[in-house]
Structure 1
Amino acid sequence: MAETIKNIYSKMSEARGKLQEVEFKKSAYNSFSKYYYFDLSDILPPIMKICDEFKLTPIFNMTKEVATLRITNAENTKEEILCTMPVGISPLKGCNDMQSIGGAQTFAQKYLYSSAFGISETDATDKQDNEEGALEPISNVQVKVIESLLKETGSDRMAFLAYARVKDVKEIVNRDLPSIMNMLDKKKEEVEAKKHGGKESGK
């Protein structure tokens, strides 16, 4: 009897569970706010090892406005999960344009991989209030991405605004953006999982 191929949602659930057993070490240090945090190199090797084990293929891409992480089931390439986040490239002190782009790309990768595979970084989140711009409103690009996800997931707008503790999407601040995007990405994944299950039951 041929072995049944697990769908991408089952694989991702098992991959996340297995990654909870991994002891990640924070190698980067913020000397201003005095805390350690994950560098991309701290989380990517264990994630790629797990992806290889569960036959998952992650592909990262970034434009001037949006960063995406597309995770495909290597055993059934029609199945995929897409995680997104709005990006903004700010000039870094003492760096040229290419270095600033590289810094934004590294941060986007770390955020998307952490979000997709359930890797939390509580210590860094607790310190965000000390970061410059944490309480500034999100950009117009970020507003458009959130509006698009709300429509795509069929979310109740009033319930979402209550969750975000704002009266309008434009009032969301940078500090709260990661948790909000994580919530919307998970809801999008749930919607896609239901669609996938419906197609299978209709065969």
Structure 2
Amino acid sequence: MSVYKKLQEARCEMQRMSLSKSGENKFAGYNYFELSDFLPVINDLFLEKGLCGLVSFTAELATLKVVDIEDGTSVDFTSPMGSAALKGCHEVQNIGAVETYQRRYLYVTALEIVEHDALDPITGGKPLEKEKIPQQYDWTALIADISKAKSIADLKTAFDAGISAAKAAGNKSMADSFTRAKNKRKTELSAQEQAA
């Protein structure tokens, strides 16, 4: 039997297991798998299947070699090395942190361990919103609505619509234009009321 068949069997057995996330990011409010959540399970599965995982590091690359101990076939999983700058830690502690993270990610890749929501670290378990396309506003029509308002109530409605659009678009100059148009139309409406 080849390393690939054994590894696939181990993957399938792992995905039928219920693993718990013991890691907690209190700042961002999400849980994640720590190495200790799944490595003991992987070691047992590898022993049962006749596999062995060997992790090694160079300055540039982290490698997990999964070897079939019966026929010697193997498959490598690699990841570029990163760095850590943990506060209050010595250089060797930062190296250890990087190696621990690299081991975790290598095994996650090799065994295809899937978080319940792959976006947990980014969104706190909530799906990302689709990219919002900026709404296009007809500024001329909004100004015209203010300028042609037939009453103070109509003016207020038209002005509120214009200001809401300007705020949504982040357009301060249009907000200023709406305010000027409102003041002008209010003066005109007041003059009409006094003349009547």
Please tell me the residue identity of whatever aligns with 1:42: D
- 1:7 deviates by 1.1
The corresponding residue for 2:31 is: 36
User: In structure 2, do the counterparts of structure 1 residues 125 and 107 end up closer, same or farther at CA, with 3 Å as the change threshold?
Assistant: farther
- Please tell me whether Structure 1 or Structure 2 has the larger radius of gyration of its CA atoms: 2
Aligned partner of residue 51 in structure 1, secondary structure: helix
Please tell me the residue identity of whatever aligns with 2:87: K
What is the aligned counterpart of 2:114 among 114, 117, 120?
A: 120
The corresponding residue for 1:85 is: 79
- 1:100 deviates by 0.6
Contact 2:66–2:75 (8 Å) recurs in 1: yes
What is the aligned counterpart of 1:64 among 50, 59, 68?
A: 59
Q: Higher relative contact order at CA 8 Å, sep ≥6: structure 1 or structure 2?
A: 1
Unaligned ranges ≥5, structure 1: 1-5, 131-203
Partner deviation per Cα, 1:129-167 (whole Å, 9 max, x = no partner)? 78xxxxxxxxxxxxxxxxxxxxxxxxxxxxxxxxxxxxx
Identity of aligned residues (%): 38
What is the aligned counterpart of 1:101 among 79, 91, 95?
A: 95
TM-score, structure 1 length as denominator?
A: 0.58
User: In structure 2, do the counterparts of structure 1 residues 34 and 44 end up closer, same or farther at CA, with 3 Å as the change threshold?
Assistant: same
Unaligned ranges ≥5, structure 2: 125-196
How many corresponding residue pairs? 124
State how far apart, in whole Å, the 1-side matches of 2:74 and 2:68 are.
Answer: 6
State how far apart, in whole Å, the 2-side matches of 1:128 and 1:11 are.
Answer: 33
Q: How does 1:171-186 map to 2 (within 5 A)?
A: none
Contact 2:84–2:97 (8 Å) recurs in 1: no
- 1:66 deviates by 0.6
State how far apart, in whole Å, the 1-side matches of 2:47 and 2:119 are.
Answer: 29
Q: How does 1:17-32 map to 2 (within 5 A)?
A: 17-32=12-27
Please tell me the residue identity of whatever aligns with 1:45: P
Contact 1:64–1:88 (8 Å) recurs in 2: no
Please tell me the residue identity of whatever aligns with 1:39: E
State how far apart, in whole Å, the 2-side matches of 1:70 and 1:95 are.
Answer: 30
